[in-house]
Structure 1
Amino acid sequence: MHAVLVRHDEPSALAELRDLMAMASHDLKSPLAAALSNLEMLREDHADHIGDDGERCLAATERALARVNGLVEDLLAYAMADQKDINPHAVRLADVIADHDVTVRGPLPTVLADPKLLRHVLDNLIGNAIKYTPGGVRPQVEVHAQPYACGLVRIEVADRGIGIPEADRPRVFEAFHRSANSSAYRGTGLGLAICRRIVERHGGQIGVEENPGGGSLFWFTLPAAS
């Protein structure tokens, strides 16, 4: 089993790029929203004249704009991941994953974290575990937590998905990096980079390793609530 830990300082050039991404994302949100709104109005006002071909064109345009909007949202989240103030307090992990269809192995402790940012990390890791499950296969996602060194808790999200090639694991938390076997799945390559920034801001670490029996096991550490 090969574990990969990712944690490194951000060079100033990348910090400047993140600022540029934040500004560009803000500027793009309004025209994208206007375009989607105008398409909706066009469909409603001219429904009797659009026809099947026109409807297919509208639907394709809406899907394309939705993908661009998703990218803009991820760019903004990535750019702001280490700029927003965090408000850590005691959070029960069981409450954060309550809305997810996952298997919980063992008791889940209480950690010291910003609830919204912690939810973002877990939503992303669990969402990826489901998304990267081969078609026709029921997703199997398991969450586990245990005490770690220096007053930390190690939280694990394991799946039976397509896995991450060993060569890609050292870079999987880098912005825009996508694994060699993920080309059939839509994604921006920013979700895990956002998770890394959030975890590091809490004083934790994040990593990925092969899940015994197939799939991936993502883990991260957070301070335990006293």
Structure 2
Amino acid sequence: MEILSHINKRVKQRPEISLPMLDLWRIYTESTSSTIVRNFCVVYIEMAFERLLREEKGSIAPDLLINISNVPEQHQGIILRLVVKVIGECNAHKVDDAAASKYQSISGSNDGLVFSDFCFQTILYQTPPQGIGCPAGLSVVQSERVTGKLPLKGDTLVSRKLGILNVIEAMQLAPEIVYPLYLAAASDSAENIPAEQKVDPAHSSLRVRLMGVFCRSIAAANAFPYTLQCIFGCIYGTFS
């Protein structure tokens, strides 16, 4: 404990000092490691991961999901938050082939289900007013699992959600898994649109006419999830 305390004092306030991320992860995943060793490891894994270069994070993040379904729930939250944070930083615009292949490798497994469930909860997450309270659609436990008890805001939250959608697409998950996730994303209100760029919806008669046109279009019908968003917008929408 004294050694760890000494390391904390030396390292915690100096982010330029790197830590042996891969060695820590190897120790954490070894079957012979005790619970107390893993508890300490995950603390330093979180610290080490944050100190990696962006490219290293993007490469390692998918590997952290392997066997995530067998990790203690508290550790799951820490690891999943690390992965999704990197997804927001590295994959908000695209997922490169190497990362896509790694993420796709857990599709159809329990690891993929745990990850997709966390992604769904992140998509559902909205910043509470004044940063207090629990977002609609999530329990307090789920909300804290997504955020780590620190509310996500603005561009950070939007980037994570965009990155998640790109990664989920790359994973080629079963329709029954991605459908609720895409549906939640299509209804998301977290986009930061400047007031001067916001477009008011067309009047109801035009929306009804457009609805009829879209219903006859195969291309429009296949443009999921925008199809659902369009249908709800045409019928019930008051915002564009």
**Which structure shows the higher helix fraction?**
2
Higher relative contact order (CA 8 A, sep 6+): 1
Same fold (TM over 0.5): no
Q: TM-score, normalised by structure 2?
A: 0.30
User: Higher strand share goes to which structure?
Assistant: 1
